Each structure stands twice: as C-alpha cells, then as structure tokens.
C-alpha cells in the first residue's frame, strides 16, 4: 500500500485512461486515489439518471462560484463528479471534440504536440463508435459512442426549425465540419452510460498492478528536494502517505488540481504566504486563466405530449418507462439530457461557429423540483470561445474546504454581445413555423424580453454555467503557465497535471471528449519517459 511506481489523483475523465494505459503492460504499479465512492448507484449507469445525480452530494462536489460581479452577485452552481468515473459518470454524455482550430491554436501558442493532427490519433484510440472505424473516428476504443439511441418527433421538429432558419443538416459534429444542426453523439450504448469508470477503470483494476482507493481526500503532494515523491491524504479518519517511485499525476479537474497544488505550496507566493503555507514553488498561474461556457435558456409549453416531462410526471408513465428499461433497455430512461443541437455563427467577426445550441425535450424551473407538470421543452445556447477569465484560489489550509471560484462571466463586451445574440437566436427558432405550431406559451425569457438590453438583463438574472470549466493549470512556456507541453509542472520534478485544467483555451463544445483525449495522450508521454 505504501509505494507504487505511479500515484494518480482523480478517477475521472482523464484519470481513468491514464490508469488503464499505465497498468496495461503489467510493468508498472499504480495507485489511483479518488475522493468519492464506488459507482454503485443505478442512476450512474442509466442515461436519464443525470437528473438524480445532478444534485446528489454523495457523488457530486456541488461547487458554487463566489458572487459573480456581472450577474448581480449571484452564485452559480457547478456540479462536478465525486465518484469513480468523475464527471463522466454524471454529465450529459454529449460527445464533442470541438473544432480542429481549437487544438491548432494550442500549438500556435507554443504547445508542441497539441495540434489537432497530433491529438486525432488519441481521440480515435478512445472511441468505440457503434458504426465502426473511419478516417476521423475510432471503432475499437473502450468508450462506446452512439447516436439517436433515444430520439422522437420532438427532436425532428427542432431540427426542422433549424433548417427553416437557414442551418444545414449535420449528422456528424465531429466530422469535417461542425456548423449545422443534428443529433449529438453520446457516450452511451445499449441503454447504459459509458463513463471512464466503466470503460477504463473497471478493466484496469482487475490487474494485480492496479490499486484503487476511494474515499481518499488528498491533502498535499509530498515534495522532497524539488521532486514529487508521493501524496499525503486522509482515509477513514487516518492520515496516510503513498509514495511514488516515478511520478505523481494530478487529474483532479479544473477545481481540484489547482487546489491540491496550492495546498502543496505551489502557486502564487504572496497568496500562499498569506495563508501560512510554505512556498515550494512560486507559480502565479496556478488557479488563474479560468474559462467556462456561460449559457442562456428558453423554455416553452407545448400541447404535444412527447416530452420527458410527460414521461416522468405521472405514475403510470414512470412505471411504463421503468418497465421498458428493465425489459429491453429502451425508452425514456435511455435519453441523454440533450440529444439534438446545433453550431452556428452569430457574431459578424466569426469565421467559424461561435455558438452551441442544445435542445432538451424537457423543462424545469429548478432541478431539485423535477420536471414541470405540463409538456415542455428547453433550448439552451452558449458562446463557444468566451473571452472572460476568472480564477480559483484556496482560502484555507484545510483540504476539505472548497476553494473560492470566480468565473467572471460576461466580463468582456464580446461575451455580452454573444449572449444577446444567443438569446435572440433561441427566439428565432421558437418563432419558426416548425416549432411555433407546437408552442402554446413562452415561459422563459418571456415575451416582454425584446431589446438587446432586455436579453442582457435576462442573461444576468437567469444565465448559468454549461459546466465546462478549464484552464487553471494552463500549459505553456511563459511565466503564467503551470505545466509544459508534456504536462510536467514547471520547476517540480516527477509531477504532472493532466485534465481540463491544462487547456490553454476552452474548446468549441462539451469538454469530456477532450479530457479523455488528454488522459490518453499523457499516458504515452509518461510511458516514454519511464522507459528512457
């Protein structure tokens, strides 16, 4: 229990691939530390279980930002996975790689080996597309990816509205072009979620050289003479240390990884000294460069009883949905939260899609109150590449205390113009003949919202996170970066960070696919160094 070749922190979207690949050859021993529990709840495998885990403290960190300056002081909810599989076990399962230019930009910023051409083999390696392998997609990877496992006429109607307002049909957002409207690819198959816990960690832990410990709260990285040699953590009320002969890899996510670095004395020297933490390495970029997709939603009543509200709001239909799932793994319980969507250009200066649309065949006021008692659906939009930057900083030496999160949503003029354009585009879709004929009432934002000022005010009152935070341990070569392009922490030997926090800029889409790719790619970098 005390010493391993590698110690990996975080059993999420990046940590899962790392542990699987490092243990596959049988040569190296690996300890995986996860703060959350085993993924035993049935809701973690059922796609529609998203609604149950969204607020479940047993498997969810349930972070909140500090009072956001541009949002009237509102604190924005950030669900993050705290369970084997991490956020891949509780997310919306949308599989989007983003634009090729997202990764090419990383390379142009000086991060060698991170262009789209460099990353594509690792996407293909993780992908188990149900339709098989193509030049752009993998067919034999561990993560099962499907499309239209659950779809109905309501989704087709949304896509008809997209066509009506000028969008081309796009059956593959991960293909040559992202722009257009279509059904999302999803990390699910045969009625089950394909999390990294299921795809990677389950096979890895069957190997004798893999040890997985849940309920382990990391307190700090143990650093001796400028080298990471282990992890100090608490488990079942006891303080323990696990030593790493070769490397420590932090895959604790955009919140957790900078928090652990700061607790270990790696971060802004002035900030750490003010908290009484001895400074091991003054890296002012730790916790900075925070980026997230900020979204606005529109919700509508409809007379058409095809919504998930209808499937789950009455007892007979809940029983019917349960029976369909139990007997054949089909029906409403196999639905991902958003099974259709679009990518559009709304800002005049954009040369590529700048806004993502999600279509939800259900509606709520608040997730903890369940679906509306009437038939309803939701359209949600977010800017793809926001300019606003925030930060994550610890406020205590106690690892159990959540850090302060400040996203600084809507802090630039471009981001404000983007959210206005997104709200107006949702209204345009709703007033198409395809959707207009089935809508009986606009619940949000409401017909009184009409001018640019109205839409911006609505976004400030009601906008939320799209749950895609990245960037707080940015890779690069400058003084504000935290890791190099091999994801090694600057100035500390034997320590890497590998998760969404290393992304220099936010990708154009949901982030889970990119996080898994990062795990796949860094595992090759680690193994190459270990064999030298």
Per-residue pLDDT, 477: 96
* Per-residue model confidence as pLDDT tens digits over 30-74: 999 999 999 999 999 999 999 999 999 999 999 999 999 999 999
| Radius of gyration (C-alpha) of the chain in whole angstroms | 22
pTM above 0.95, yes or no: yes
- By residue count, the chain amounts to 532
Annotation marks residue 468 as catalytic: yes
Per-residue pLDDT, 362: 94
Distance CA 43, CA 356 (A): 27
* Per-residue model confidence as pLDDT tens digits over 168-182: 999 999 999 999 999
- Tell me if residue 457 falls in helix, strand or coil: helix
Instruction: Write the DSSP assignment of 491-513 as a string of letters.
Output: T-BTEEE-SGGG-SS--SS-SHH
Spot the catalytic one: 271, 293, 391, 468: 468
Catalogue all structural domains in the chain, each as residue range(s) with its CATH number.
3-530 (3.50.50.60)
* Per-residue model confidence as pLDDT tens digits over 228-287: 999 999 999 999 999 999 999 999 999 999 999 999 999 999 999 999 999 999 999 999
- Helix (H), strand (E) counts: the chain: 15, 25
Handedness of CA 518, 521, 525, 530 (dihedral sign): positive
Average pLDDT over residues 430-459: 97
Q: Cα-Cα-Cα-Cα dihedral of 139, 141, 142, 147, to 10°?
A: -30
Whole-angstrom CA distances from 146 to 37, 306, 386 are: 27, 22, 29
* Per-residue model confidence as pLDDT tens digits over 354-403: 999 999 999 998 877 788 999 999 999 999 999 999 999 999 999 999 99
Which residue intervals of 314-406 are DSSP H helices?
315-328
Per-residue pLDDT, 150: 86
| The residue to which tokens 């890899």 are assigned | 249
């Amino acid at each position: 229990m005390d010493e391993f070749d590698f110690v990996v922190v975080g059993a999420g979207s990046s940590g899962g691939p790392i542990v699987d690949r490092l243990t596959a050859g049988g040569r190296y021993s690996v300890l995986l530390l996860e703060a959350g529990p085993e993924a035993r709840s049935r809701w973690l495998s059922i796609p529609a279980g998203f609604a149950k885990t969204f607020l479940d403290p047993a498997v969810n960190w349930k972070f909140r930002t500090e009072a956001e300056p541009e949002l009237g002081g509102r604190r924005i909810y950030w669900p993050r996975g705290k369970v084997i599989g991490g956020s891949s076990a509780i997310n919306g399962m949308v599989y989007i790689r983003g634009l090729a230019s997202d990764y090419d930009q990383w390379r142009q910023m000086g991060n060698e080996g991170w262009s789209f051409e460099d990353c594509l083999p690792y996407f293909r390696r993780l992908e188990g597309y149900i339709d098989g392998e193509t030049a752009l997609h993998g067919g034999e990877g561990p993560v099962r990816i499907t499309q239209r496992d659950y779809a109905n006429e309501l989704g087709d109607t949304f896509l008809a509205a997209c066509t009506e307002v000028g969008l081309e049909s796009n059956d593959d957002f991960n293909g040559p072009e992202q722009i257009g409207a279509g059904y999302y690819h999803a990390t699910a198959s045969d009625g089950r979620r394909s999390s990294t816990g299921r795809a990677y960690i389950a096979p890895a832990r069957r190997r004798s050289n893999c040890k997985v410990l849940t309920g382990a709260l990391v307190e700090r990285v143990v650093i001796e003479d400028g080298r990471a040699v282990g992890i100090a953590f608490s488990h079942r009320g006891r303080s323990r240390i696990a030593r790493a002969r070769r490397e420590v890899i932090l895959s604790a996510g955009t919140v957790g990884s900078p928090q652990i670095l700061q607790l270990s004395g790696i971060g802004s020297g002035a900030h750490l000294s003010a908290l009484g933490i001895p400074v091991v390495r003054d890296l002012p970029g730790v916790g900075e460069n925070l980026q997230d997709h900020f979204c606005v939603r529109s919700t509508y009543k409809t007379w058409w009883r095809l919504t998930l509200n209808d499937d789950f709001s009455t007892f007979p239909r809940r029983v019917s949905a349960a029976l369909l799932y139990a007997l054949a793994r089909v029906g409403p319980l196999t639905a991902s939260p958003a099974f259709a969507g679009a990518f559009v250009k709304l800002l005049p200066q954009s040369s590529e899609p700048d806004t993502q649309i999600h279509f939800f065949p259900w509606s709520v006021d608040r997730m903890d109150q369940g679906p509306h008692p009437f038939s309803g659906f939701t359209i949600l939009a977010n800017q793809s590449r926001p300019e606003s930057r925030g930060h994550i900083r610890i406020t205590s030496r106690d690892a159990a205390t959540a850090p302060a999160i400040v996203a600084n949503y809507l802090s630039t003029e471009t981001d404000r113009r983007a959210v206005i354009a997104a709200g107006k585009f949702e209204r345009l879709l709703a007033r198409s003949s395809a959707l207009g004929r089935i809508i009986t009432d606009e619940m949000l934002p409401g017909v009184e919202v009409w001018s640019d000022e109205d839409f911006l005010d609505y976004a400030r009152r009601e906008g939320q996170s799209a749950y895609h935070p990245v960037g707080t341990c940015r890779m690069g070569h400058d003084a504000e970066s935290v890791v190099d392009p091999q994801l090694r922490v600057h100035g500390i030997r034997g320590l890497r960070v590998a998760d969404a926090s290393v992304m220099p800029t936010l990708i154009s889409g949901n982030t889970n696919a990119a996080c898994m790719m990062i795990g796949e790619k860094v595992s090759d970098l680690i193994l190459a160094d270990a064999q030298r």
